[in-house]
Amino acid sequence: MEIDFKKQDGLVPAIIQDAKTLKVLMLGYMNKEALKKTKKTGKVTFYSRSKKRLWTKGETSENYLHLREIKTDCDKDALLIKATPEGNTCHLNRYSCFNELDEKDISFLLKLEKTIEQRKEEMPEGSYTTKLFRKGVNKIAQKVGEEATELIIEAKDDNDELFLNEAADLMYHLQVLLTHRGFSMQDVAKVLEERHGEW
């Protein structure tokens, strides 16, 4: 990883992002030693401009930032660090220094969509998704209908686990159908956004 530490007197800004929610947690600065220690220990470490020394986030509060991924920008003079926070990140005891909310993460739905798209392209043997694609739109649409019916049935009972499992099955098969037809969740989101004022 090539990083230009010369532009800003040996320091580069490091934007810290929650690896799961993708929310921005904080901004710090790193020099070569801080980056090296971060990689070695797996705990995000900065260079403190006020204390003139390295400091590992959480060294006093134990609210560590556990390293997941490091990326550089196009000019090689800034870092994007994805980390898993242990506790609140901000010294004001907030999730984020930018007052972001620790909302429930739904980005997995986008990962699932990418996986389904990959299955359609590669058609790996033994994959349930591959089998659906090979059977065609009629079978996929039938599965969406079946899962919707099962969800309706479970909605009338008190078993939350079964209800959520049927909801997950419906969303998965709906994503397969969208992918088969050449659409994405973003296309659906666009329609919902356009209708938002009607609700």
Domains in the chain, please, with CATH? 12-85 (3.10.20.810), 108-198 (1.10.287.1080)
With cut-offs at 50, 70 and 90, classify the pLDDT of residue 59.
very high
pLDDT digits 0-9 by tens, 67-80:
999 999 999 999 99
What's the average model confidence in pLDDT over 176-191?
Answer: 94
In the predicted model, what is the mean pLDDT of the chain?
93
Task: Quote the CA–CA distance of 72 and 84 in Å, as a whole number.
Answer: 18
With cut-offs at 50, 70 and 90, classify the pLDDT of residue 7.
confident
pLDDT of residue 104 exceeding 90, the answer is no
The pLDDT value given to residue 103: 65
CA distances from 102 to 54, 106, 177 (A): 28, 12, 31
Write the DSSP symbol of residue 103: P
